[in-house]
A and B are shown apart, each in its own frame.
Chain A
Amino acid sequence: MADTVVGANPDPHASGDDPNRRDFIHIAAGVAAVGLVGGLAWPLINQMNPAGDTLALASIEFDLSKVVEGQQVVVKWRGKPLFVRYRTAKEIAAAIKDDHSDLRDPATDESRHKPGKAQFLILIGTCTHLGCVPTFGGGDYGGWFCPCHGSVYDTSGRIRKGPAPLNLAVPDYSFLSDSKVKVG
């Protein structure tokens, strides 16, 4: 009796190991499911990245004539403090003198300001260790001192002592005119 039934439930692997139509449906359904889950997962992950309006607020303009020599102005940029410092000749000289001393994150003072604008040092004011805001005037190098874990930066914002791995970051900025900069 059983051998006379035709096509009722054929053995899927009767003809060797070649994938048949049922295997194909399983594979296709699996691939579609993975694609669907992945396609849904990406929006759910990416929604946490900065939103359009956050990115739109990402650049500011600043008038440097508001800063006098020896002064530091702190502006909020991208939610972080931005140090705009009008350096004295003495500070610049001290920074250049240390260009080739034993630096953790080697950089010349020249590379940390725009050409011909050595007096204006613009830095992101968050410690490269864990993001605290360093205060100016502390530490042994005449620059910044981070109160959280004791990192010390020099007058060029380079890391000299303490746990921070990198120099204070220089943001992307350009001079729109002699006294006006655009940051970001």
Chain B
Amino acid sequence: MSGHSTYEPKSGFERWLDSRLPIIRFANDTIVTFPTPKNLNYWWTFGGILSLMLGMQIVTGIVLAMHYVPSADGAFNSVQRIMRDVNYGWLIRNLHANGASMFFLAVYMHMFRNLYYGSYKAPREVLWILGCVIYLLMIGTAFFGYVLPWGQMSFHGAVVITNLIGAIPVIGPSVTTWLWGGFAVDNATLNRFFSLHYLLPFMIAGVVGLHIWALHVPGNNNPTGVNVKSAEDTVSFHPYYTVKDGFAISVFLIMYAVFVFFMPDALGDAANYVQANPLVTPQHIVPEWYLLPFYAILRAVPNKLMGVILMFGAIATLFVLPWLDTSKVRSLRYRPTARLYYGIFFLTCIVLGFCGAHSPDDPVIPAISGPQLLDANLNSFVWLSRIAALYYFAYFWVITPLLGLTETPLPVPESISSPVLSHPASAPVGAVASPEKRG
């Protein structure tokens, strides 16, 4: 699909530049004439939304860094000063803090889209892996960023997560001290987290460049999962998808604005409005919503090291997914059985998030005392997380490999265009047969 370039320099200057740095040609070939499958639905608009959110986070972040004080004594107060005294500081910080949530919301939509339409399968494995790398970098950036306001949840969140490293046998404790730059999470830790929080988004931007490069070699997947067969199957990126992405971005920005202007604290935790105190731990420590499913997996396991391994394993599994899926059919549109398991998987992720937000010992259904099973009550979030975590791993490691070998998929169309063009009767009544000849 990368095809040959159709760019023709129009002016003398463009010709001059084109023979020295063909940057206009590059832009033209990637975002104007790039041949894109003509059947992409709105699930394909999240790539554009994600690029916008990355830009938004970098711009608002650079501005916030101009006012933020990265020290254990000054951080909390400087954030309050940004919210109260800095001109439009409240807006910029609310955009940044809620922007992180919106960024993750969009990336999850993007990832579930991939899982549904089989976009991770050959020849797009590298594209998928680069996406997983971006996701890991996003988690790191979000974690470092959450520590910076130096509230109670920032501080103790950092304590809990850095202590996870301590679970590694032998070298764990010295690695933890190295990460902290001291004997506990303190000023040195905050400073380095600020430095890394500033660095990682630019690394993300770099990997996004590779991600788009890897996308433009095989071209987009599409809802049928069938390869592009001819020029008939594609349209140029501009204006068809610039307009479609533009509309989706507008709708997304409206939702973003609702959070920023009307409920800026809805996704945060009230405990973070209390300055960090190393001597008192909040009653209930939770990460931000977008990391709750992994937190639930961590707590589902009674053994510290195993919990840490499974939590990281949940993300590591994504990297090898292209080789776990044995099905030749990409899109779940033609795999009704797989679609059912996919639906359960989606619900499982929601349930894990729900479990992560509750205390492990709380009853799932209040006022019912279930039987005791091993170390916990069966009617508790710890058992619900265990069942959900089991399905999470089973979906990737058991169901996906076996289903591809055993199921019978529905007939897959010849090409992207054939389901539409092979049924002349399907043209709407009254449609003009050759609209270009009208009048």
- Chain A contact residues, CB within 8 Å of chain B: 45, 48-51, 54, 58, 74, 76, 78-81, 125-126, 129-133, 146-150, 163-165
Contacts and interface: CB of A to CB of B under 8 A. Distances in A.
Contacts of A50: 177, 180-183, 188
Given A50-B177, A50-B182, A79-B184, A163 B304 contact: yes
Most-contacted residue by chain A among B166, B278, B284 (CB, 10 A): B278
B283 A147 contact: yes
11 contacts: A50-B182, A54-B188, A76-B278, A78-B183, A78-B184, A132-B285, A133-B280, A147-B281, A150-B361, A163-B303, A165-B303
Given A48-B192, A131-B160, A78 B281 contact: no
A155 to B, nearest CB: 21
Given A50-B188, A79-B186, A130-B159, A148 B281 contact: yes
A134 to B, nearest CB: 8
Contacts of A149: 299, 360
**Which 5 pairs across A and B sit closest by C-beta, in order of nearness?**
A79-B184, A78-B183, A131-B163, A132-B281, A130-B160
A47 to B, nearest CB: 9
B163 A130 contact: yes
A49 B174 CA distance: 9
B164 interface: yes
Given A49-B178, A132-B285, A80 B183 contact: yes
B185 interface: yes
Contact of B183 (A79, A150, A165): A79
B211 interface: no
Interface in B269-296: 278-285
A148 B160 contact: yes
Contacts of A150: 360-361
A51 B188 contact: yes
Nearest to A74: B279
B371 interface: no
Given A48-B178, A50-B181, A148-B281, A129 B186 contact: no
Contacts of A76: 278-279
Contacts of B179: 48
Contacts of B177: 49-50
A51 B178 CA distance: 10
Given A48-B179, A54-B188, A131-B166, 13 more contacts: A49-B181, A50-B188, A79-B183, A79-B186, A80-B278, A130-B159, A130-B163, A132-B159, A132-B160, A148-B160, A150-B361, A163-B299, A163-B307
Contact of A133 (B163, B180, B281): B281
A80 B176 CA distance: 14
B69 to A, nearest CB: 19
A51 B182 CA distance: 7
Contacts of B166: 131
Contacts of B159: 126, 130-132
B411 interface: no
B30 to A, nearest CB: 36
B389 to A, nearest CB: 15
Contacts of B164: 130
A132 B299 CA distance: 14
Interface in B172-202: 177-186, 188, 192
B302 interface: yes
